[in-house]
Amino acid sequence: MPVDYSDPEVIRQMSFRAKEWARWLETNALGAGGKGRIAIAFGQVREQIYQIIQTNLLNAVAITKEYDTPELSGPLVENFSDPELVKITNDGEIYFNAEDIAGNWNDFNDGVQAARHVLKVDTEKPIERRAHFWKVFVYQPAREGIAPPAKSQETSIRKQNRAISTYYPRAINVRMGFWRGKTPYWLWLEVGNHNLRYRYPRFAGTHFLENSRKAAQQLFDAALEQVRLDEEAELERAADVFFENPQQFVPEQVLGAFYDKGRKYEIYITPKRQLLGVRLV
């Protein structure tokens, strides 16, 4: 990062105003784009971003109810805690790598089809009949405690026990096994299924991930601005101290430090005590 401190333009920029100096350094010496500031700010808020995601996810699970059992909510929590989930671009835009980690619509549909094949569901039957069977003889008995219709109470109870012990857990286990750790049903939490006639249970989208992204971006932007202000404040403080009386400082004396791209830079007195210098430690 050689900076020619004998260059009159360098001296002019550095002695004009500390904030102008900071901008000059960022553009000409430390690399344009503020990547160092982005890395620092992202590191400061990364854990908070994951906390936001988890809070919104658990709220979404509680609202929809369909996925609030441990075998379904547990893998969701695990996937949305993945260290590779939260990403940031070189321009400081937060995004989530959710489809690669937790699955996409193709994954979901493939798992459902696999379960239908294993459970020998007659896919030739009209969708309304299959949807009715899932709702009345599988989901409601197993998850909502509603006994299915039958000619006798004894038969109804027997059908409900079958749903609880066989139909529902087998369907879930086959899907989860096929997905191999992915949880593509997170997409239903995000967008909802209230507009699909034969889905059950039906619920509105929670948009938990998009809401998390927006909150994360706001959090990051505030942290990035604070990093910029802290850096400028340190540069300005050092400049003020130096220019009050340059002769009182000895060469190589360090007046402060800041970070860029994860590396530490010191603000020091140049050998001729004419101006401040910046060097990588």
Q: Looking at residue 186, what is its pLDDT?
A: 97
Q: Which of 35-44, 62-71, 80-89, 193-202 is the least confident region?
A: 35-44
Neighbours of 264 (CB within 10 A): 11
DSSP annotation of 51: H
Residue 278 binned pLDDT confidence (cut-offs 50, 70, 90): low
| 3-class secondary-structure state, position 104 | coil
pTM for the model: 0.74
pLDDT of residue 175: 93
Report the candidate in 10, 35, 15, 187 with the shortest Cα–Cα distance to residue 108.
187
Tokens 């899932």, residue located: 134
Hey, where are the domains in the chain?
8-37+223-280, 42-215
pLDDT at 110 over 50: yes
Show Cβ contacts of residue 193 under 8 Å, excluding neighbours closer than 6 positions: 199, 202, 203
What's the whole-number average pLDDT of the chain?
83
Residue 187: is its pLDDT beyond 80? Answer: yes
Determine the average pLDDT of the residues in 173-199: 93
Q: Is 65 helix (H, G, I), strand (E, B) or coil?
A: coil
What average pLDDT score do residues 66-79 get?
Answer: 95
Residues 134 and 136: their CA atoms lie apart, in Å, by 6
8-23 confidence digits (pLDDT tens): 555 555 554 445 555 5
